Structure 1
Amino acid sequence: MTFGFQFDHVGITTTTAHLDQTIAWYRDHLDFLVIQQFEVGESVFTFIGTDNITIEIISAGAAKNPAPAAESLPASHDVERLHHVCLRVPDLDAAITELDRRGVALFAGPMTVEKSGQRFAFIRDNIGTIIEITEAVPVAG
């Protein structure tokens, strides 16, 4: 038996104070729209995304004691947790140029790992979530 998994979404927790800022960051910088928002108990669940990507932002008083954002990509590997969300683009250079125009600085990269067939760069959202932007490159034979 196989499960037949398909990717559905990734969840990011934030404080109530940062919920609107986080939704606005994804809207203004990555063109994500609110798909659905609802409350369950003390928690607000907001699904944002595009035609084929969904992120769930969970605001439930989480991060009362947030871990500091990593200062570098190697330092970000020091904590055992979900490390990043990866978004594929057809043209990394064009995406980096557009992100820069929108005020989003690179956190790391761009860099190429030929063995994986990827060229990528990293950015961070307003609360420090690491986002990888990647494009496929030909794998060296």
Structure 2
Amino acid sequence: MTNSFSHDHVGITVTPDELDATIKWYSSTLDFNVEKQFEAHGTTFTFLVNGDAKIELLAGASNGRPPTHDILSSMDPARLHHFCLAVDDLDAAIARLNDLGVPLIGGPMDVPEIGRRIAFITDNLGTIIEITAPAPR
């Protein structure tokens, strides 16, 4: 028997003190909305959504990660490296992020092998986010 998977969400741990600022960052920077928030097992679970993309914030654990400012120096194999959000127009997305003061830590660059154009940013906690769109023809 073969399993068939589809993507559901990405989970990001935050401290309770970081939760509100992180919700605000994803809401104001990437247009995510709070879908659901609840308490269980001493942790606050917050689900953020934008289209088909879903992020789960888990407030209760310490993340202990320093911010990442350079995509090439972030290749530590002992952690989740990044998650990726797809957009229709990468240049428009980058322009909006630039207007909001969100710096790129990598790209933009074309990856002909996969037919995509990509760039990287970090959230307010240092979580690496890849933004991708189809490469121009």
Equivalent pairs counted in the alignment come to 137
**2:113 counterpart SS class:** helix
> Per-residue CA shift, 1:65-122, capped at 9, x if unaligned?
x122233111100242111110111111111001111221111110111112111100
**1:5 counterpart SS class:** coil
For structure 1, list consecutive stretches of 5 or more residues without a partner in the other structure: none
Q: Which residue of 2 aligns with 1:57?
A: 57
The TM-score, its normalising length taken from structure 2, stands at 0.93
1 CA distance for matches of 2:51 and 2:89? Answer: 18
2 CA distance for matches of 1:97 and 1:138? Answer: 17
Letter of the 1:5 counterpart? F
Q: How much does 1:6 deviate?
A: 0.9
Q: How much does 1:138 deviate?
A: 6.4
> Per-residue CA shift, 1:18-51, capped at 9, x if unaligned?
0000000000001100000000021000000112
1 CA distance for matches of 2:108 and 2:136? Answer: 16
Give runs of aligned pairs for residues 60-71 of structure 1, distance below 5 A. 60-63=60-63, 66-71=64-69
Judge conservation of contact 1:119–1:137 (CA < 8 Å) in 2.
yes
Letter of the 2:101 counterpart? G
Letter of the 1:104 counterpart? V
Q: Which residue of 2 aligns with 1:5?
A: 5
The TM-score, its normalising length taken from structure 1, stands at 0.91
Which portions of structure 1, spanning 4 or more consecutive aligned residues, are displaced by more than 6 angstroms? none
Which piece of structure 1 moves more, 33-42 or 111-120? 111-120
Q: Which residue of 1 aligns with 2:135?
A: 137
The alignment's C-alpha RMSD in Å is 1.4
2 CA distance for matches of 1:6 and 1:68? Answer: 31
**2:44 counterpart SS class:** strand
